[in-house]
Amino acid sequence: MTEPVKVYPAKPHKVYFFGTCLVDLFFPDAGMAGIQLLEREGIEVLFPQAQTCCGQPAYTSGYHDDARAVAAAQLPLFAEPWPIVVPSGSCAGMMRQHYPALFQDTSQQAQANEVAARVWELTDFLLNVCHIKLRDQGEPVTVAMHTSCSARREMGIAAVGPALLGQLDKVTLVEQVRAEECCGFGGTFAVRHPEISGAMVNEKVASLVDTGARAFVTTDCGCLMNIDGHAEKEQQPLRGQHILSFLWQRTQGGKGGKDREDREVTP
Among 68, 100, 128, give the residue marking a domain's end.
Answer: 128
Full residue range of the structural domain in which residue 246 is found: 141-250
Tell me, yes or no, whether 152 and 92 share the same domain: no
Tell me, yes or no, whether 120 and 97 share the same domain: yes
Q: What is the pLDDT of residues 22-65, one digit of tens each?
A: 999 999 999 999 999 999 999 999 999 999 999 999 999 999 99
pLDDT of residue 267: 33
CATH number at residue 220: 3.40.50
Tell me, yes or no, whether 91 and 18 share the same domain: yes
Tell me, yes or no, whether 124 and 147 share the same domain: no
Residue 262 has pLDDT above 50, yes or no: no
Tell me, yes or no, whether 216 and 112 share the same domain: no
Q: 204-226 burial, b for 16+ CB within 10 Å, e for fewer?
A: bbbbbbebebbbbbbbbbbbbbb
Q: Is there a domain that residue 239 lies in?
A: yes
Q: What is the pLDDT of residues 153-194, one digit of tens each?
A: 999 999 999 999 999 999 999 999 989 999 999 878 888 898
Mean pLDDT, residues 207-234: 96
Residue 265 has pLDDT above 90, yes or no: no
Tell me, yes or no, whether 208 and 240 share the same domain: yes
Q: Is there a domain that residue 233 lies in?
A: yes
Number of structural domains (the chain) is 2
Q: Is there a domain that residue 267 lies in?
A: no
Contact between residue 253 and residue 137 where contact means Cβ atoms under 8 Å apart: yes
Q: Is there a domain that residue 5 lies in?
A: no
Q: Is there a domain that residue 8 lies in?
A: no
Tell me, yes or no, whether 122 and 24 share the same domain: yes
Tell me, yes or no, whether 64 and 153 share the same domain: no
Q: Is there a domain that residue 258 lies in?
A: no
Residue 258 has pLDDT above 90, yes or no: no
Q: What is the pLDDT of residues 77-110, one digit of tens each?
A: 999 999 999 999 999 999 999 999 999 999 999 9
Tell me, yes or no, whether 204 and 103 share the same domain: no
Contact between residue 144 and residue 216 where contact means Cβ atoms under 8 Å apart: yes
CA distance 190 to 94: 18
pLDDT of residue 187: 79
Residue 131 has pLDDT above 70, yes or no: yes
CA distance 106 to 236: 49
pLDDT of residue 261: 36
Q: Is there a domain that residue 261 lies in?
A: no
Tell me, yes or no, whether 104 and 19 share the same domain: yes
Contact between residue 85 and residue 16 where contact means Cβ atoms under 8 Å apart: yes
Q: Is there a domain that residue 133 lies in?
A: no
Tell me, yes or no, whether 115 and 162 share the same domain: no
Q: What is the pLDDT of residues 101-125, one digit of tens each?
A: 999 999 999 999 999 999 999 999 9
Confidence band for 2, pLDDT divided at 50, 70 and 90: very low
Which long-range contacts link 33-39 to residues 24+ away (Cβ below 8 Å)? 33/242, 33/244, 33/245, 33/247, 33/248, 33/249, 34/85, 34/87, 34/122, 34/244, 36/248, 37/126, 37/132, 37/244, 37/247, 37/248, 38/85, 38/122, 38/126, 38/130
pLDDT of residue 6: 85
Tell me, yes or no, whether 18 and 108 share the same domain: yes
